[in-house]
A = this chain, B = another copy of it.
């Protein structure tokens, strides 16, 4: 089967499996197919090549899209209705099981998953604070996305003190997108029975010296749960995720933050942007117009 690509997303995971070439999560239209489930003209999402056209031979992760609701195709390309949304929704509700009024901390909070975690948590009735790496991102979190507070971690010399300031009553849930020192500081500030969903560790990707040493004494005394997860394991929550998210999108309760670049020639710089923290929201490469 051959597809023509429209939008691809950049995922840091693609870069960290040594020696393995992984495609992007993309949306495309079938231009030729000998597979009975896919017809010419179908819109599909799944693993596509970093290219304008892809020959698909592994159909397992490919799915036909129902785009009748009129949302942009990028929403499905690993975005708010794709794996970023599912990771945010499932990581928050299935892994962390929040209660209304609980205090939620999100790192890399302006990123593709982080901003959605914060929005879902706010809509659910939690107190939400995020951290990010520029003033622009922090302003976006507070003013546009509706976090209760946000701070620039690059301006903090002591993460532990920063979290004490923003969470005088402690943290109940930490949605970790960065690992490293911020994870250690979060453990220091967790409440009893705190839950940490580990979704990313961008600080550890880019500097292997920054490995977190969470205080295990605190993990025991405070009965903290630290759980790694991937969006692919959250399929049982997928229908709930889609119906809730579509409803939020249709009623304008959920803001979609995308960072778009154009053409296959922008792929390398898009990757570098992710690791430098230059993206705000979901990084999307638009390959072609539909």
Contact = CB atoms under 8 A, between A and B. Distances in A.
A199 to B, nearest CB: 7
Interface string A200-239: 1100110000011111111111111111111001000000
A216 B183 contact: yes
Nearest to A226: B226
B228 A200 contact: no
Nearest to A187: B228
Interface in A231-254: 233
Interface string A173-194: 0000001000100000000000
A198 interface: yes
Given A212-B213, A226-B225, A220 B233 contact: no
Contact of A220 (B201, B212, B217, B219): B201
A21 interface: no
Interface residues on A, range: 20 to 34
Contacts of A216: 179, 183, 198, 201, 204, 211-212, 228
Contacts of A179: 216
> What's the number of copies of this chain in the assembled complex?
2
Nearest to A17: B221
Contacts of A212: 213-214, 216
A19 B233 CA distance: 45
Nearest to A205: B217
Contacts of A205: 217
B228 A222 contact: yes
A16 interface: yes
16 contacts: A16-B217, A198-B220, A200-B220, A201-B217, A204-B216, A205-B217, A211-B213, A211-B215, A213-B213, A216-B228, A218-B228, A219-B228, A221-B230, A223-B233, A225-B226, A225-B227
Interface of A: 16, 179, 183, 198-201, 204-205, 211-230, 233
